[in-house]
Amino acid sequence: MNPLRPLILAAAESPRLKRALTGIPVTADIVRRFVAGETRIDLIGVARTLLASGRMVSVDFLGENTTDRNQADATVAEYLALINDLAALDRPALPGIAVPPVEVSVKLSALGQALPVDGPAIATENLRIICTKAAQADVWVTVDAEDHTTTAATLATVRALRGEFPWLGAVLQAYLHRTESDCREMAGPGSRIRLCKGAYREPPEVAFQRAGEVTDSYLRCLEVLMRGEGYPMVASHDPVPIVAAEDLAARIGRGPDRFEYQMLYGIRDAEQLRLAAAGNAVRVYVPYGSQWYGYLTRRLAERPANLAFFLRALVGKS
Ligand code: FDA
């Protein structure tokens, strides 16, 4: 983990900085690098191009930490329209890969999880509405992982809905101490787990702080998932876990139809294409919408070199 990461994530919480940065248009290069655009039309164009290149997609309608019921309802409505539009896309054949190439990713805090009264129950009900629509459209759904205070509630929602929607995926973050045990518990038949390192600022009581410790934890969790009976989703741009997944798959005899690689839109595009050309299932996580601030600051914190682009965009604006 880069040493500036906690600082950047802390600074990003300043309302003044947020006001200054959100003044940058979505068309600025740094925003466009990571975000497909503000509208569903922008998103559909990007998704079509990715699908045509032999990759699959998981689409995130940006937004988080909703404290307003109407906004949560509006997010559900946008996801229903998004699923409609994604279902209408051509799905190019991917030899040897039978899973749906189109997925949506959802943050429960955007569906009302943080509402002061009955938040988790409201988010669960909203997710059920989205999953019902997705099931009709042959679109998968995966629930994103947010900061550690939400982990238990989020996994409880996923468990509650898995009976009805066995394909419902969850994200686990390798930087959390609890995750190896969560992986053991959630590596059962059909269980779809997206394993990532984790992108939030977390205290040492709950999360590994050093990059090497996080990667080691990732590798332990990966082995549990790859040896389990579920469907692992290897979400990382780091060559170490990517090579480890390849080795484990070969040793265990897990074919490309039984796990997938996932990367974020705008990061290591050539590596995404290389993995797909080698016959692997590769899914790109593509965000869109006007609420890009939180997402973008997490991408900046992962790699200080991105900050230089961002600062240039700021200077260009003034
Ligand atoms: P690491 O950060 O070590 O990066 C490895 C290499 O990848 C870098 O050396 C660089 O080349 C490249 N790279 C990584 N980040 C970059 C960036 N921002 N810009 C440019 N290059 C970069 N997190 C979370 O907390 N909850 C979630 O739900 C998700 N969901 C999710 C879905 C998917 C599909 C992915 C790929 C990732 C997430 N994440 C996430 C983010 C994840 O936790 C993590 O912060 C990032 O993936 C970066 O970690 P890496 O494993 O890529 O390794």
**Confidence band for 313, pLDDT divided at 50, 70 and 90:** low
**Confidence band for 175, pLDDT divided at 50, 70 and 90:** very high
Give the pLDDT confidence score for residue 119 in this predicted structure: 96
Q: In a mutational test of the pocket of ligand 1, which residue from 234, 238, 275 has the highest number of ligand atoms less than 8 Å from its CB?
A: 238
For the chain, helix, strand, coil in percent to 5 are 50, 15, 35
Question: Looking at the domain assignment, is residue 15 inside a domain?
Answer: no
- Catalytic option among 5, 55, 144, 299: 144
Report the pLDDT averaged over residues 15-34. Answer: 75
Question: Looking at the domain assignment, is residue 23 inside a domain?
Answer: no
238, exposed or middle or buried, with CB in 10 Å at 0-12, 13-18, 19+?
middle
- State if residue 145 touches ligand 1 by the CB under 6 angstroms criterion: yes
Tokens describing residue 193: 């787990």
Give the pLDDT confidence score for residue 27 in this predicted structure: 62
DSSP 145: P
Q: How far is the CA of 235 from the centre of ligand 1 (A)?
A: 8
Q: How far is the CA of 136 from the centre of ligand 1 (A)?
A: 31
* Domains contained in the chain, number: 1
Question: Looking at the domain assignment, is residue 13 inside a domain?
Answer: no
Tokens describing residue 186: 């959630």
Enter the pTM of the model.
Answer: 0.95
Question: Looking at the domain assignment, is residue 9 inside a domain?
Answer: no
In this predicted structure, the answer to whether residue 316 has a pLDDT above a threshold of 90 is no
Are 254 and 212 within 8 A, CB to CB? Answer: no
Give the pLDDT confidence score for residue 318 in this predicted structure: 43
* DSSP-derived 3-state class of residue 261: strand
Give the pLDDT confidence score for residue 32 in this predicted structure: 87
In this predicted structure, the answer to whether residue 156 has a pLDDT above a threshold of 80 is yes
* DSSP-derived 3-state class of residue 13: coil
Greater pLDDT, 173 or 28 = 173
Question: Looking at the domain assignment, is residue 222 inside a domain?
Answer: yes
Question: Looking at the domain assignment, is residue 246 inside a domain?
Answer: yes
CA distance 138 to 148: 31
Strands 56-61 vs 231-235: parallel, antiparallel or unpaired: unpaired
Radius of gyration (C-alpha) of the chain in whole angstroms:
18
Atom of ligand 1 nearest to the CA of 241: 51
Question: Looking at the domain assignment, is residue 99 inside a domain?
Answer: yes
In this predicted structure, the answer to whether residue 101 has a pLDDT above a threshold of 80 is yes
Buried b / exposed e along 269-283 (16+ C-beta atoms within 10 A): eeebeebbeeebbbb
Domain that includes residue 109, residue range: 36-291
Are 177 and 208 within 8 A, CB to CB? Answer: yes
CA distance 50 to 28: 21
Are 20 and 61 within 8 A, CB to CB? Answer: no
CA distance 80 to 59: 12
Q: Whose CA is nearest to atom 38 of ligand 1?
A: 196
- Write out pLDDT tens, residues 260-299: 999 999 999 999 999 999 999 999 999 999 988 889 888 8
- Catalytic option among 40, 55, 192, 194: 194
Report the pLDDT averaged over residues 40-66. Answer: 96
CA distance 113 to 119: 4
Q: What is the CATH number of the domain that holds 48?
A: 3.20.20.220
Question: Looking at the domain assignment, is residue 3 inside a domain?
Answer: no
Q: In a mutational test of the pocket of ligand 1, which residue from 106, 144, 302 has the highest number of ligand atoms less than 8 Å from its CB?
A: 302
